[in-house]
Amino acid sequence: MERQALVERANAALRTGDVAQAIQLLEEAAKDKPDDATLWLQIAAMHRAASDFAAALAAVHKALAIAPLDFMGLLMRASLLQRMGDAQAGEAWGHALAQKPSGELPPQLSAAVAEGEQHHSVWLQAREKRMLSAMGEVEQRANEEERAHIARFRTNALRKTRPFHSEPTHFHFPGLVEREFHPRRLFPWLAELEAASDMITGEFRTVMAAERAELVPYIQYEDHVPLDQWRPLNRNPDWTAIHLWRNGVRIEANAIHCPGTMNLLRRFPQPETKGSGPNAMFSLLAPHTNIPAHVGVTNTRLVCHLPLIVPEGCWFRVGAGTRPWIPGEAFIFDDTIEHEAMNPSDELRVVFIFDVWHPDLTDAERDAVAALLALETGGAAL
């Protein structure tokens, strides 16, 4: 008998309440087309209605063998495991929720998802508690940096966070350590920078008030350039900069008002790469402005932020790490790892930004990078 005819007979049997006959007919139809995941899910639903959860689970597994990421199949599997009291239910709910389609779900499906989210949350909390217990003694004797790594290892295992990697748009140097935020111990001069916060803020206010100061959009490139990550902010006055150094060129109209800041920069390991570095600027982010997630050009440099004027609620994310800017507290991050920022306030946010060499580069490697960038960039913005 043809598959469609068998399915029609199964539906007729189901309308009369003969679930066993309906299952038998659908399983016969499945022999004719064993790669039809939808058919196996129908069989699973009927076994579930008959309270034969083991048979229902076996049918769901056949459906998932055909379509491993099918949301309905994963949802049914998780629900069945939960009904059966199986210890795998919590993880199964996680797999199902990861494939939840965007948009509004039908009420019955929405209720099932809500139940799954609750069950998965409880399972995650219990799993995290076990991890904390197992790792507790080690964490107590770890230093602050080690504890941060251990905590991130744990949240990655729990799928609360995920790994992020350096993905520069143009120039990737091999073998450099990837860190979202780099530890302060690698940059002992940060204390000197922070001690100068008031002076730098004062010079910022001076240059802002100067008639001939140059305030330009932070992002500027031709519309035809194949860069989509910054398109909403290209030439946008909501994200502007007062450059002191730009692609290795001293911006005299601004630098002349910031002698203390310019002298301070000489003591830091800024890349001197013809056509691309050093770079140093005051970054101004307008109220209610988001800098969308993006990555930088080369992993051979890192970026230093010294927050100067920060309204309440402003935040900065690199990879899975999000932190507020705190005036006078500097940090260094890898801008080739996905990052974004937000000023949700009604006031202007100002951060002093400059680049530094990645500390893993040797002198010879720095010279090689400088030679290549001088050849390739031709003064293009980095």
**How does strand 339-343 pair with strand 331-333?**
unpaired
267 contacts 278 by C-beta, under 8 angstroms = no
- Residue-level pLDDT at 23: 72
Side-chain-side CA neighbours of 143 within 13 Å: the count stands at: 3
What pLDDT, in 10s, does the model give residues 226-284?
555 555 555 456 689 999 999 999 999 999 999 999 999 999 999 999 999 999 999 99
Helices (H), the chain: 3-15, 19-32, 37-49, 53-66, 71-83, 89-98, 107-140, 144-157, 190-195, 197-209, 252-255, 259-265, 363-377
* Calpha distance 381→57 (Å, rounded): 57
DSSP, collapsed to helix, strand or coil, labels residue 336 as: coil
What's the rounded mean pLDDT across residues 345-353? 97
Contact indicator for 282, 352 with CB cutoff of 8 Å? yes
Tens digit of each residue's pLDDT (9 = 90 or more) over 133-186? 999 999 999 999 999 999 999 999 999 999 999 999 999 999 999 999 999 999
Mean pLDDT of all residues in the chain?
90
pLDDT at site 27: 72
Task: Judge contact between 32 and 6, C-beta under 8 A.
Answer: yes
Q: Is 346 exposed, middle or buried (0-12, 13-18, 19+ CB in 10 A)?
A: exposed
- The more confident residue out of 218 and 325 is 325
**pTM here?**
0.83
d(CA 88, CA 163): 24
Determine the pLDDT at residue 246.
95
Q: Count Cα neighbours of 365 within 13 Å in the Cβ-side half-sphere.
A: 14
8-state DSSP, 248: T
Query: Residue 72: which of 107, 31, 44, 30 has the closest Cα?
Result: 44
Distances (CA, A) of 144 to 147, 181, 208: 5, 14, 39
pLDDT, residue 38, reads 85
Q: Tell me the domains of the chain and their CATH numbers.
A: 34-121 (1.25.40.10), 181-377 (2.60.120.330)
